[in-house]
Amino acid sequence: MAETATRLLRLLSLLQDQRARTGRDLADHLGVTDRTLRHDIARLRELGYPIHAERGSIGGYRLGQGATMPPLLLDDDEAVAVAVAIGLAEEGATGIADIRESTSRALAKLTQIMPKRLQRKVKALRNATAVGPAVTGSREPDAPVAAAVLDTIAAAVRDGKTLRIGGTEVEPYRLISWQRRWYLVAYDLDDHTWRALPVTTAVPGERRFAPRLLPDDDLVAFVLREIASTGWKVHARITVLAPASVVVARINPTVGIVEAVDEHTSVLVTGADTLETIAIYVGMLGMDFRLDGPPELVEHVRVLGQRYLAAVRP
């Protein structure tokens, strides 16, 4: 019985790669006869797996869609990816309000059957990661990061080991996922400053370190401030003719940071990878403002202003 169950699981795994497999191919992989393969296919169908048989030169067996949800088999990387994605969904990264209970149950089921080594990897990634606030209408390009890089960083955070990122040795403390990008809150051992580093690659170090006092109780807010002031291709300081409290209440927290000047004036420190995005941010304020630079942004807003005026002239 144990041998049959093991063979059925192997067969199910082969069928889940989303392509048709011939009976001969499946039988060779399993080391069984065609007759035994047909019996195994029948057993899986009895268990609710919709296995379709297709005739012809490119035919074979294929796992299709059924009326119910049968169990799935995931390899190590797939299981970790699903667990981490579910964890991010639990933290609200999806923007969907009513799936928290479902995601919690799914994560509990998946974690329960995971080997300890995978549980350790998932736990490291979840503990090392925080999610920034959602943003809408962004035109900034995605910056995907390889899962292996995130695994390396999460393990270093967990174990208190240094990393080398872009030739700089750092002490890693927290991964922040925001706007389809990844940032690492780290202490730079070269210039002895706290930084929010865009994550691209990471090389494990050998040195262990004792945890330092963090630069902010809210590391997501720390990253957003760093990005607003240094992390974009285009930066701007915009004088807004309104109190800081009014501006803060008006903007999305991902737009930038607000500095008070006096009771009636404040400065918005913001940035983006394109002039167009900053112009959108400023236009959405719904407040009077002064824009002194950079010159290319001033010219872009001037052109927009002329375009809007021309659109409403009789």
Q: Is the pLDDT of residue 185 over 80?
A: yes
Cβ-proximal residues to 141 (8 Å cutoff; 6+ apart), any chain? 273
Q: Residues 165-187: what's their mean pLDDT?
A: 86
The neighbour count for residue 59, using CB atoms within 10 Å, is 14
pLDDT of residue 173: 93
Give me the pLDDT at residue 118, please.
80
Span 118-127, average pLDDT: 78
How many residues in the chain? Answer: 314
Measured CA to CA in angstroms, residue 26 lies from 57, 85, 106 at distances of: 16, 32, 31
Give 7-24 pLDDT, tens digit per residue: 887 887 787 766 778 888
Taking each helix axis as running N to C, give the angle between helix 147-159 and helix 116-128, from 0 to 180 degrees, rounded to the nearest 10: 80
Residue 66, amino acid: G
Reported as a pLDDT band with limits 50, 70 and 90, residue 289 is: very high
Distance (Å, whole) CA 246 – CA 119: 46
pLDDT of residue 1: 44
When comparing pLDDT for 236 and 314, which is higher?
Answer: 236
| Residue whose entry in the numeric block shows the structure tokens 């999460």 | 154
pLDDT digits (tens, 9 = 90+) for 38-69: 898 888 888 777 888 877 666 688 877 665 55
**The pLDDT of residue 161:** 93
Per the CB < 8 A criterion, the answer to whether 74 and 83 are in contact is no
More confident residue, 198 or 180: 198
- Residues of the chain with pLDDT > 70, as a percent, come to 79
Give the pLDDT of residue 83: 73
Write down the pLDDT at residue 149: 85
| Strands 234-240, 289-291: pairing kind | antiparallel
Beta strands (DSSP E) in the chain are: 51-54, 60-63, 129-131, 161-165, 168-178, 181-188, 193-198, 203-208, 234-240, 256-260, 266-272, 289-291
Amino acid type, 239? T
Percent of the chain past pLDDT 90, that is, above it, reads 15
Domains and CATH numbers, the chain: 2-63 (1.10.10.10), 76-131 (no CATH), 147-225 (2.30.30), 232-312 (3.30.70)
Task: Kindly report the backbone phi and psi dihedral angles of residue 137, in degrees, each rounded to the nearest multiple of 5, phi listed first.
Answer: 75, 15
Strand 168-178 and strand 129-131: the pairing is parallel
pLDDT > 70? residue 179:
no
User: How does residue 145 score in pLDDT terms, banded at 50, 70 and 90?
Assistant: confident
Residue 141 has pLDDT above 60, yes or no: no
Residue 136 pLDDT: 42
